[in-house]
């Protein structure tokens, strides 16, 4: 019995130790798997977590179809726009799009008015010195196109003595300047693709060199051109941030881009705009007639008109106050006040409006360390510029009142201030009113200059429309009619108020 008992206990003890050993190995394997397996997801999630819930300002071009342009509803769409929005959704952050134009977008990034630029921007060694780029999201290249009716030009060798239109800062411009001496043509740089195409159709340029997907999209929309050369492989497009800034955002963008390429969404976005064979000349789509274009464009143009009238009203109210106060300072016996008014007039009459628009929107934020609203920048630009002219209008009107009026008022016992307020100014208002109305009309037209900083006024909206459909002449005709009607109604209303006030 004891022998049997002892003999039977050994196998049980051995089995127990084996069970413990197996359990230990299992636990150790689990720990190793836990340590090694989740490492990559933990790192990936940390990239998203760093930007999750944040909002980033993305500056872009205004007209660079099919990468960024506005559709018939006024929404900003295109390869760049769809990519950044899809990546934002994937990585859990938000984006606000600032449509400024390529050069203005770069200035906004430099002045920290934007966090990144995504505008079909070619990655170059020179740009890498100022910006950090994302992983490439599009491999570009350039092509040459001419007017459909042109049968003389077959290739670069036929360009001797010709003018070739290119877009400022683009890969096409760099390529054209490298080839200009070799083939003997002149290079003309402009700001927009649609402007280049119109130059070729009007005969002001004989050819255009542009990024091949942009040309392919334009030809599909019926821009009146045809390609005559094969695609020349070029650089790659990337999203840009300031050197050493927004690293977490850049990492999240790269991660999101990789996910879109893996799940097939990236390919769908490209196919949506340029098709699987991006460089081929696509079949033209049917275009609406003029009145169909009017119906499509009406909502966007009315939004632009509303913004134009609103910014003009705000700026004119500020300019009137400036004109009245500094106009009185201008004729004041106080030399200090008089010289302040003189200097103000000299500065703002002697400098272009666009300089101040860029200064207030892009320069001031760098000085004060805070973003400036585009409405504030636009209102200050128009108000301070027009205010300088209103100062001189007020001064001239006051000095036009017969000097005997002041002498008569003083002889009745009125002080100089009372004489000015009760006798001189009412007469000066009648004299100045036509000039003030004229300045209001000038300000309304000058508001179109604010499109340079991306303000959504009437001409800016027109730009967005013809950048997508390439119907420049018809769109500008509509804009001209709207301006004419608006200014005519404004002049009529101002004259009615003038008659009533000065009755």
- For the segment 312-351, what is each residue's pLDDT rounded down to a tens digit? 999 999 999 999 999 989 888 889 999 999 999 999 999 9
CA distances (Å), origin 107, targets 57, 174, 241, 360, 452: 13, 20, 12, 12, 12
Q: Is the pTM of this model over 0.75?
A: no
Q: Is there a contact between 281 and 231 (Cβ–Cβ < 8 Å)?
A: no
| 175-201 mean pLDDT | 86
What are the start-end ranges of the H helices in 2-114?
A: 2-36, 39-51, 79-91, 102-110
DSSP code of 320? H
Q: What is the pLDDT of residue 33?
A: 45
Instruction: Report the DSSP beta bridge partners of residue 446.
Output: none
What is the spatial distance between Cα 270 and Cα 273, in angstroms, rounded to a whole number? 6
Helix (H) or strand (E) segment spanning residue 99: strand 94-99
Residue 66 preceded by cis peptide, ω within 30: yes
What is the spatial distance between Cα 365 and Cα 378, in angstroms, rounded to a whole number? 14
Matching residue, tokens 């030009």: 153
For the chain, what is the mean pLDDT? 81
Q: Which long-range contacts (CB under 8 A, 24 or more apart) does 366-371 make?
A: 366/111, 366/112, 371/112, 371/113
Q: What is the pLDDT of residue 193?
A: 74
Residue 218 preceded by cis peptide, ω within 30: no
Q: What is the pLDDT of residue 17?
A: 46
Range with the lowest mean pLDDT among 103-112, 255-264, 327-336, 414-423?
A: 414-423
* pLDDT at 420 > cutoff 80: no
Q: What is the pLDDT of residue 18?
A: 44
- Residue 323's Cα: distance from chain center in Å? 32
> In terms of C-beta density within 10 A (0-12 exposed, 13-18 middle, 19 or more buried), how is residue 260 classed?
buried
Q: Is there a contact between 420 and 407 (Cβ–Cβ < 8 Å)?
A: no
DSSP code of 38? T
- For the segment 355-376, what is each residue's pLDDT rounded down to a tens digit? 999 899 878 887 887 778 889 9
| 28-54 mean pLDDT | 55
Q: Is there a contact between 394 and 432 (Cβ–Cβ < 8 Å)?
A: yes
What are the start-end ranges of the H helices in 131-208?
A: 171-183, 193-202
Q: Minimal CA–CA distance to 50: which of 246, 244, 257?
A: 246
Q: What is the pLDDT of residue 275?
A: 67
Q: What is the pLDDT of residue 288?
A: 67
- For the segment 242-281, what is each residue's pLDDT rounded down to a tens digit? 998 889 999 999 999 999 999 999 999 988 887 644 333 3
β-pairing, 207-211 vs 163-167, is parallel
Q: Is there a contact between 98 and 60 (Cβ–Cβ < 8 Å)?
A: yes
CA distances (Å), origin 487, targets 211, 439, 442, 443: 40, 12, 10, 11
Q: Is there a contact between 137 and 83 (Cβ–Cβ < 8 Å)?
A: yes
Q: What is the pLDDT of residue 195?
A: 80
* pLDDT at 32 > cutoff 60: no
Q: What is the pLDDT of residue 346?
A: 94
β-pairing, 138-147 vs 207-211, is antiparallel
């Amino acid at each position: 019995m004891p022998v049997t008992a002892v003999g039977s206990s050994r196998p049980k003890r051995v089995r127990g130790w084996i069970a413990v050993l197996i359990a230990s190995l299992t636990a150790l394997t689990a720990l190793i798997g836990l340590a090694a397996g989740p490492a990559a997801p933990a790192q990936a999630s940390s990239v998203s977590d760093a930007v999750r819930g944040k909002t980033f300002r993305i500056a872009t071009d205004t007209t660079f179809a099919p990468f960024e342009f506005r559709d018939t509803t006024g929404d900003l769409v295109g390869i760049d726009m769809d990519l950044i929005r899809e990546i934002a959704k994937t990585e859990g952050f938000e984006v606000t799009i600032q449509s400024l134009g390529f050069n203005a977008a770069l200035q906004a990034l430099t002045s920290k008015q934007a966090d990144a630029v995504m505008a079909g921007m070619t990655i170059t060694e020179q740009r890498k010195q100022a910006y950090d780029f994302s992983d490439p999201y599009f491999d570009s290249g350039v092509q040459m196109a001419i007017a459909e009716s042109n049968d003389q030009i077959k290739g670069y060798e036929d360009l001797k003595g010709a003018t070739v239109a290119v877009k400022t800062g683009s890969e096409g411009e760099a390529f054209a300047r490298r080839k200009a001496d070799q083939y003997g043509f002149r290079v003309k740089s402009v700001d927009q693709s649609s402007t280049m195409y119109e130059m070729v159709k009007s005969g002001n340029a004989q050819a255009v060199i542009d990024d091949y997907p942009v040309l392919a999209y334009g030809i599909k929309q019926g821009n009146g051109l045809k390609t005559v050369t094969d695609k020349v492989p070029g650089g790659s497009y990337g999203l840009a941030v300031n050197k050493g800034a927004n690293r977490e955002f850049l990492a999240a963008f790269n991660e999101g881009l990789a996910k879109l390429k893996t799940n097939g969404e990236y390919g769908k976005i490209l196919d949506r705009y340029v098709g699987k064979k991006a460089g081929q000349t696509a079949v033209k789509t049917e275009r609406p007639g003029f009145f169909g274009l009017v119906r499509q464009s009406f909502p966007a143009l009315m939004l632009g008109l509303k913004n134009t009238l609103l910014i003009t009203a705000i700026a004119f109210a500020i300019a009137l106050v400036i004109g009245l106060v500094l106009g009185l300072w201008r004729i004041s016996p106080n030399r200090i006040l008089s010289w302040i008014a003189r200097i103000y007039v000299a500065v703002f009459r002697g400098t272009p409006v666009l300089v101040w628009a860029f200064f207030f929107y892009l320069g001031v934020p760098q000085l004060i360390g805070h973003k400036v609203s585009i409405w504030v920048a636009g209102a200050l630009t128009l108000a301070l510029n027009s205010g300088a002219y209103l100062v001189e209008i007020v001064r001239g009107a006051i000095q036009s009142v017969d000097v005997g009026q002041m002498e008569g008022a003083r002889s009745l016992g009125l002080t100089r201030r009372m004489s000015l307020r009760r006798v001189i100014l009412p007469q000066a208002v009648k004299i100045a009113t036509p000039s003030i109305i004229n300045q209001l009309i000038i300000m309304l037209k000058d508001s179109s200059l604010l499109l340079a900083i991306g303000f959504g006024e009437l001409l800016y909206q027109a730009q967005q429309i013809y950048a997508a459909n390439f119907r420049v002449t018809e769109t500008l005709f509509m804009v001209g009619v709207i301006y004419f009607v608006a200014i005519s109604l404004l002049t009529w209303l101002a004259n009615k108020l003038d008659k009533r006030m000065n009755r």
